[in-house]
A = this chain, B = another copy of it.
Amino acid sequence: PVNVVECEASVAPKGEKRSSKTAEADKKRKLDGLTKDSPMRLRMEAFNKRLQAEITAELERLDGQGKFAVDQWNRAEGGNGISMVMQDGKVFEKAGVGVSVVYGMLPPAAVAQMRAQHPNIAVTKESMPFFATGISCVIHPHNPNAPTVHFNYRYFELGSSEGGEPVSWWFGGGCDLTPTILYEEDAVHFHQVIKDACDKHDPRYYRDFKKWCDEYFFIPHRGERRGVGGIFFDDLDDKSPEELFAYVQSCGNAFLKQYIPIMEKRKDMPFTQDDKMWQQVRRGRYVEFNLVYDRGTKFGLLTPGARIESILMTMPLTARWEYMHEPDLKAHARLMEVLRVPKDWVPL
């Protein structure tokens, strides 16, 4: 299934511009104040926005100089978003954290696709109302010793009506680390923190979602992965919404613990011109993955009226394509090895 949230795209058929009844009812609910009994979609939206504020504040603190520019937008069909981007900071070359909330109508072909994973969706020839909210983050530091990182957590509802329960719902998301210069201890730390978050909720989650991540971020034409992985999951509805919301919160809340200690160690390390060039070449690979394979990006680019700047917020500020570039194997043999054959950084 396509990642409706990450691309912040409108999938509403043309012409349908009226805010849905659910969206209107939800506006009122938010004014009245959220409680533990509020619909899951509103609680996930609130969580995403709180997490975005917390992470951007912490990244600004760490950078010490760069500030996030804030873009807020509203969809006529219902929904809104906040894109926050820091560019050319002291530590961060580019860091984007986006939250989106989308109410819309899903065409029957897309509904049919979702039925494959969610068999309780009835066969229909009609469009169905859907809701999606997600938080998505990509951070590219200046220093080649410091890794790029990405995460995304999202919640999807199909057939949510004004008052009642949705026909179907699920959570998705994940996080992954993309070093230019490999420090194995950083990969171990990144994985250990997210494993701990997973283990609190289900002993199988880390093992299964780590594998899924290694599969998802594969770049076939290079025969290598984008980075050293993390976790990836989609269509998750194997527990109650309450339990899975708790799981996704654990994952989202783990992010700063995963990334900030690594950055503290790496952001001021000395580096050479060769290190910087190698970083630029690896950024080229990042661009290749995002433009050619990433489902969210592809879906977004093909969606008329999608907010392109939010979709491509994930791109590095700079990238480089050298013909027949050969990695310096003295320096990067181990990185290339773990990109080709994924490693279990922590015991499964």
A320 within 8 A of B: yes
A32 within 8 A of B: no
CB <8 Å contact, B313 and A323: yes
- How many angstroms from the CA of A309 to the CA of B288 in the assembled complex? 13
Q: Which residues of B are found within 8 Å of A139, using beta-carbon distances? A: none
- How many angstroms from the CA of A174 to the CA of B316 in the assembled complex? 32
CB <8 Å contact, B318 and A320: yes
Give 1 or 0 for each of A124-152: 1 = CB within 8 Å of chain B CB. Answer: 00000000000000000000000000000
Closest residue to A222 on the B side, CB-wise? B308
Closest residue to A304 on the B side, CB-wise? B220
Give 1 or 0 for each of A307-329: 1 = CB within 8 Å of chain B CB. Answer: 01101110111111111100000
A323-B87 contact given A291-B287, A315-B284, CB 8 Å threshold: yes
Q: Which residues of B are found within 8 Å of A280, using beta-carbon distances? A: 318
CB <8 Å contact, A317 and B312: no
A14 within 8 A of B: no
A316-B321 contact given A222-B308, A301-B221, CB 8 Å threshold: yes
CB <8 Å contact, A96 and B288: no
A71 within 8 A of B: yes
Q: In angstroms, how far is the closest chain B Cβ from the Cβ of A140?
A: 10
Task: List A49-87 residues whose CB lies under 8 Å from chain B.
Answer: 69, 71, 83, 85, 87
CB <8 Å contact, A221 and B306: yes
Closest residue to A288 on the B side, CB-wise? B291
- How many angstroms from the CA of A36 to the CA of B85 in the assembled complex? 62
Q: In angstroms, how far is the closest chain B Cβ from the Cβ of A294?
A: 11
Task: List A96-116 residues whose CB lies under 8 Å from chain B.
Answer: 96
Closest residue to A85 on the B side, CB-wise? B323
Q: Which residues of B are found within 8 Å of A287, using beta-carbon distances? A: 287, 291, 319, 321
Q: In angstroms, how far is the closest chain B Cβ from the Cβ of A242?
A: 36
Contact sample, A vs B, 20 pairs, CB 8 Å cutoff: A83-B323, A85-B324, A94-B321, A94-B323, A221-B301, A280-B318, A287-B319, A287-B321, A288-B291, A292-B292, A292-B298, A292-B301, A309-B323, A309-B324, A312-B321, A313-B323, A316-B321, A318-B320, A319-B319, A319-B321
